[in-house]
Structure 1
Amino acid sequence: MTIYRYALVILLAGVFVFPFIVMLTTAFKVSDEIFMAPPELLPRTWTLDHFVGALTQIPFFRFLLNTVVIAGLSVLGTVLVSPLVAYSLSKLRWKGRNLLFIMVLATMMLPPQVTLIPIYMMWNKVGATGTILPLIVPAFLGTPFFIFLIRQFLLSVPDELIEAAKVDGASEFRIYWSIVLPIARPALITSAVFQFVWAWTDFLYPLIYLNDEESYTLSIGLYSFLGEHGVQWGPLMASCVLFTLPAFLIFLVFQRYFIGGIATGALK
C-alpha cells in the first residue's frame, strides 16, 4: 500500500509541476522549436535570446520595482496591523469582542467581485485611482484572513504566561511586543508569505487602479507580449519564469515556518 500511495503522490505532483516545466523549457527554446510537431519537452538548441527580449521589449526593471514596492508595503502593513487586531480578539477581554470576530469572519464570505465597484467608487471619490494607494492601504487596515489565522495561533499561547508578565509590571504593549509576537513568528511569516504572493501575482486590482504605464506591475507588463497579431511565446515564457522566481524563492526559504503556521491554525 505504501508504494501505491507514493506513486499516487508522485503522479499528482507531476500533474501540478508539468505546466511549470513546460514554461521553463519553452523559455530556453528557439522560436522554431516552440510549436514543433511532434512537440518535444526539452529544447534541441538552448538559447537565452528570449530572456534578453523579456528584459528589453518591456521596461522590465521598472515594472519589477513597482511590484516590489507594492508587495513590500503590503507585507509591511499585514505584519504590523493584522497581529494587533488578532491579539485584541484572542487575549484581550472586552465587550463585543466575539461579535466583532464574527463580523470579521463574515467579510471573508463575500466574493471580492461583490465589493469591487463600491470600493472603486470610494477610491475614485478621494482621488486615489491611478495611484498605488488602493493596492497597499487595505493591508494597513487589517486583512480578515490573516486576522483569523493569527488569532487561531495566539489562542495556543498560555494565558498564564501573559498573567505572569503583568504581575512583573509589563505593560500590555510590552507583553504583545516582547512575548506574544516572538511566539507567533510562524503565523506572522505564514501571513507575510501569503500576502507577498497575493500582491506579487495580483493582476485584477493593478489593472483596475493603475492607468499609467510608469506605475504598472509585472503582472500587467506581461500582457504586453500578447499583441493583436499573435503572442510572443518565447519572451512571454521567459518573463513568466523571471516573474515566478521571487515567489518560489520566498516560499522555499520560509516553507518551514509556512507549513508550521498553517498546521497550527488548522489544529486550532
Structure 2
Amino acid sequence: MSTLDRASEAGPTTSVTPERLATEDAVPAEPQRSPRQRGTVARVLVGAALVLMTVAFVYPFVWLVSASLKPRSDVFDNRLIPETLTFDNYVEVWNAAPMAAWLVNTAFVTVMATLTVTISSALVAWGFARYQFRGRNLLFGLVLASMMIPGAATMIPTYLIWNSLGLVGTLTPLWAGNVFGTAFYIFLLRQFFLGLPPELFDAAEIDGAGHWRVFWHIALPLTRPALVVVALFEFQAAWTDLMRGLIYLRDREDFTVPRGLKSMLDQFGFGGEWHWELIVTASVITTLPMVIVFFIGQRQIIQGVASTGTKG
C-alpha cells in the first residue's frame, strides 16, 4: 500500500504527518555487534584453535607416558589412563640395557656440541657483523651457500677424515665438527649482532677495550637471548642425533641414547621378542630431559626469535 492510499484511508478527521509516515515506512534495523563483542568472539575462536593444536602436539607424548606404565599386552590399547598401572617397565629397562652409560655419553656429546658450536658460531658471526674487510659479503654468501649442500654429499668424506685420524669408534666425531661453527647459527647470530648499536662498541674501543674484551664482555651479554636459542637448538639436535651414532659408534657401551634405542628396537621390536613396553619406556626416559630443557628456556627462545632478524 502506497503512502497516498494510506493518507486517503485516514479520512478527514485523521491527520497524517510526514513524521508518522516516515515512522510507518521505516524498516527495523538489525542489531549490530559492538567492537567488544567481535573481539570476544575472535578471542574465543583463537583460543579454541590453540587448544586443538596443543592437544595435537601433546597427545603423542601423553600416549607414550601412558604406554610406559602398562604391561606388554596393553601397550597399544589406546587408553590414556592405564587399566593396569605398573612401574616395572622402568626397572626392567635399566636391566635390559646400559641406560646409565648411554645417558652419560649423550650428555657429554650434547654439552660439548652445544658449547663448541655456540662459541665458534658467535665468533664468526661477530666478525661478519662488526668488521669491514675485503670479500666479506662474498665469504658470508659462501657460508650461507653451504647450507644448501646435502648432508649425504659430505658424509663419506667426513668419515674418511675421522677414520684417518683414528677416531672412528669414539664419541669425538659426534661433537668435534662443531668447532668450526654452523652456517645457520652464524646467520642467526650475525643478524642479532647487526641489531646492536655500533656506537656502544666504538665507545668501548675508544676507552681502550680490545677486540676480544668488546666481544666477550659487551657483545655476548647483549646477545644472550640469541645465544640461548642457538644452544637449545643444538642441544636438541645433538641429543636426538642418530645418524652419526650409527656411522661412528661400534661398542654398545659407547652408544648414545638414540643409537641405544635403535639397538633396543632391533633386539626387542623386530627380533621376535616384541618387548614394546621396554622401547616406549626407554623413549620416555630419553624425551624427558628435552622437555625439561625447553620448559626452562622457553622464554629465552621466544625473546631471541622475536628480536632476531630485525636489521641487516
**Under TM normalisation by the shorter chain, which class is it?**
over 0.9
Matches within 5 A, 1:77-92: 77-92=116-131
Q: Which has the higher contact order (CA 8 A, sep 6+)?
A: 1
2:66 paired with 1:22? no
- Secondary structure of 1:169's counterpart equals coil
2:54 matched residue in structure 1: 13
**Contact 2:118–2:181 (CA<8 Å) still a contact in 1?**
no
1:147 to 183, 186, 202: 186
**Contact 1:31–1:234 (CA<8 Å) still a contact in 2?**
yes
Structure with greater Cα Rg? 2
Q: Please give the alpha-carbon distance, in whole angstroms, between the structure 2 residues aligned to 1:215 and 1:35.
A: 31
Q: Please give the alpha-carbon distance, in whole angstroms, between the structure 1 residues aligned to 2:230 and 2:116.
A: 11
**Contact 1:225–1:231 (CA<8 Å) still a contact in 2?**
no
Please tell me the residue identity of whatever aligns with 1:260: Q
Q: Please give the alpha-carbon distance, in whole angstroms, between the structure 1 residues aligned to 2:76 and 2:206.
A: 71
Unaligned runs of 5+ in 1: none
Matches within 5 A, 1:184-223: 184-223=223-262
- Offset from partner CA, 1:81-133 (integer Å, 9 cap, x none): 11111100101111111111111100111221221122112222222211122
**Contact 2:195–2:310 (CA<8 Å) still a contact in 1?**
no
1:264 matched residue in structure 2: 307
**Contact 2:204–2:214 (CA<8 Å) still a contact in 1?**
yes
Please tell me the residue identity of whatever aligns with 2:307: T
Q: Please give the alpha-carbon distance, in whole angstroms, between the structure 1 residues aligned to 2:246 and 2:87.
A: 30
- C-alpha displacement at 1:134, in angstroms? 1.3
**Contact 1:154–1:184 (CA<8 Å) still a contact in 2?**
yes
- Secondary structure of 2:81's counterpart equals coil
Q: Please give the alpha-carbon distance, in whole angstroms, between the structure 2 residues aligned to 1:128 and 1:48.
A: 40
Q: Please give the alpha-carbon distance, in whole angstroms, between the structure 1 residues aligned to 2:309 and 2:292.
A: 25
Please tell me the residue identity of whatever aligns with 1:51: Y
Q: Please give the alpha-carbon distance, in whole angstroms, between the structure 2 residues aligned to 1:214 and 1:25.
A: 29
Q: Please give the alpha-carbon distance, in whole angstroms, between the structure 2 residues aligned to 1:266 and 1:86.
A: 13
Please tell me the residue identity of whatever aligns with 2:207: D
Please tell me the residue identity of whatever aligns with 2:304: G
- Offset from partner CA, 1:127-174 (integer Å, 9 cap, x none): 221112211111111111111111111111111001111111111111
Q: Please give the alpha-carbon distance, in whole angstroms, between the structure 1 residues aligned to 2:86 and 2:264.
A: 19
Matches within 5 A, 1:231-242: 231-242=274-285
CA RMSD of aligned residues (A): 1.3
Q: Which runs of 4+ in 1 moved over 3 A?
A: none
- C-alpha displacement at 1:258, in angstroms? 1.3
Cα pair distance change 1:94/1:231, threshold 3 Å: farther
Q: Please give the alpha-carbon distance, in whole angstroms, between the structure 1 residues aligned to 2:274 and 2:110.
A: 28
- C-alpha displacement at 1:267, in angstroms? 3.4
2:214 to 159, 175, 179: 175
**Contact 2:170–2:249 (CA<8 Å) still a contact in 1?**
yes
Aligned residues: 266
2:106 paired with 1:61? no
